[in-house]
Amino acid sequence: MSYALNIQQANAVLDEIRKDYTVFAPKRFPKQGRYSDTDIIRYAEISRFEDIVWDTKSDYPAKEVLTPIQQAIFYFTEDEYRESKGPKKPYLVLARPCDIAAQHVQQKIYAGNGGYTDVYYERVRKLVRFAMMECNGGDDTCFCVSMGTNRTDDYSLALKFSSEGVKVQVTDDDFTGYFKECPKAKYTPSFVEENELKVTVPDLDNAEVRKALKTHPMWNEYNSRCISCGACTVACSTCTCFTTRDVIYGDNPEVGERRRVTSSCQIEGFDQMAGQKEMRSTAAARMRFKVLHKFHDYKARFGDSHMCVGCGRCMHRCPEFISIAATVNKMSRAVEEIKAGMAEG
């Protein structure tokens, strides 16, 4: 069933939904951007329909709702670690198809990898329903079509926003009741079918090709361009890596919490063990490691899709203007070169 709501009706429905769900959506934070007088758009709990930023891609992904930058995983005393408590109220997360696809990726790693399910991810994930925000085409850094993440059917509501209000398709019976007073309308969501930016992911099934690619000179460029800041992985819709950190409370140094804090394979020291050298000591090696994870290694382990969902946020956030799309296309050319060399023998 579909409906057309004006802003007032949308706010009335939102008020009702908020009684049962915590609603998260991209929200504008004025003057918090990285340049003066610029804003930042990131996920946060919303209370008004007007809070939802629907006409611009958020700077940071929906993953922050499920895997926040930092969270307490245990509270400790000298003789005990007590598991932190998760939320009780269900979440409704407004997200574009790429951000929904990204949760299928994060879920593969957090739930099930190696037979271990992450308590902290799973306790939130099972509370989440998605309201799919129909994408208005994204921007010039989007390449979801190349990654096959432009479509999804994992949503309870589909939403098409306009300055007058929102059209809603309800696909989950749990939500039908909230719309019973709303005017019905014809609406089925449409999906982005073409991006301006196209990415060709190389076929890396051949182990010899992969081996040659790892030492290909194409990576050296990043030694001078990449500053290993990790901004790309924080902005990434799918990156999951974290570090644990113990924090003590100021008024009682025997009590504190063990936190999970977002980490990045792009920063110095990510793989460094105590008293030993780094495994990947250059920006080039770290970039190669990240790119191959996103466009080969994840799929080799988990099967059905690449890790990158083509949201393009890493390109927006990179202070050095490094384009993952250009990098992958460059990698494709390098792979062709390697294969041609191998064919010549």
Contact 5, 168 (CB under 8 A): yes
- The residue (of 160 and 260) whose beta carbon lies closer to another protein is 260
Please tell me whether residue 73 binds another protein under the rule CB under 8 A: yes
**Residue from 44, 229, 241, 267 in contact with another protein (CB under 8 A):** 241
**Residue from 45, 126, 176, 279 in contact with another protein (CB under 8 A):** 279
**Residue from 32, 38, 56, 77 in contact with another protein (CB under 8 A):** 77
Please tell me whether residue 217 binds another protein under the rule CB under 8 A: no
Residue 317 Cβ vs another protein, minimum distance, rounded to whole Å = 19
Stretch that binds another protein, among 9-17, 85-93, 265-273, 313-321 (CB under 8 A): 265-273
The residue length of the chain stands at 345
**β pairing state of 128-133 and 91-95:** parallel
Please tell me whether residue 3 binds another protein under the rule CB under 8 A: no
Stretch that binds another protein, among 144-152, 190-198, 295-303, 308-316 (CB under 8 A): 295-303
Please tell me whether residue 203 binds another protein under the rule CB under 8 A: no
What is the secondary structure of 114-167 as a DSSP string? GG-B-HHHHHHHTTEEEEEE------TT--HHHHT-S-----SEEEEEETTEEE
**Number of residues counted as binding another protein (CB under 8 A):** 54
Residue 15 Cβ vs another protein, minimum distance, rounded to whole Å = 36
CA–CA separation, 121 and 135 (whole Å): 26
CA–CA separation, 19 and 26 (whole Å): 20
**Residue from 15, 45, 83, 174 in contact with another protein (CB under 8 A):** 83
Please tell me whether residue 292 binds another protein under the rule CB under 8 A: yes
Contact 238, 262 (CB under 8 A): no
Stretch that binds another protein, among 56-64, 182-190, 298-306, 332-340 (CB under 8 A): 298-306
Q: Match 């819709």 to its residue by tokens.
A: 237
Count other C-beta atoms under 10 Å from residue 264's C-beta. Answer: 21
What is the secondary structure of 278-289 as a DSSP string? -SS-SHHHHHHH
Please tell me whether residue 273 binds another protein under the rule CB under 8 A: yes
Contact 136, 26 (CB under 8 A): no
Residue 34 Cβ vs another protein, minimum distance, rounded to whole Å = 26
Q: From edge to edge, which strands make up the β-sheet containing 252-262? A: 80-83, 70-77, 252-262, 242-249
Interacting positions 84-103 with another protein (CB under 8 A): none
The sign one gets for the Cα dihedral 292, 293, 295, 296 is positive
Residue 249, phi-psi category: left (phi > 0), alpha (psi -120 to 50), beta (remainder): beta
With 0-12 / 13-18 / 19 or more C-beta atoms within 10 angstroms meaning exposed / middle / buried, residue 152 is buried
State whether residue 174 is helix, strand or coil: helix
Stretch that binds another protein, among 58-66, 138-146, 160-168, 267-275 (CB under 8 A): 267-275
**Residue from 34, 184, 301, 333 in contact with another protein (CB under 8 A):** 301
**Residue from 48, 126, 184, 211 in contact with another protein (CB under 8 A):** 211
CA–CA separation, 88 and 307 (whole Å): 30
CA–CA separation, 114 and 14 (whole Å): 40
Interacting positions 108-137 with another protein (CB under 8 A): 109-110, 113-119, 121
Please tell me whether residue 293 binds another protein under the rule CB under 8 A: yes
- The residue (of 129 and 259) whose beta carbon lies closer to another protein is 259
Contact 181, 341 (CB under 8 A): no
Site of interaction with another protein (CB under 8 A): 73-74, 76-81, 83, 109-110, 113-119, 121, 207, 211, 214, 240-246, 248, 253-254, 256, 258, 263, 265, 270-276, 279-280, 285, 289, 292-293, 296-298, 300-301
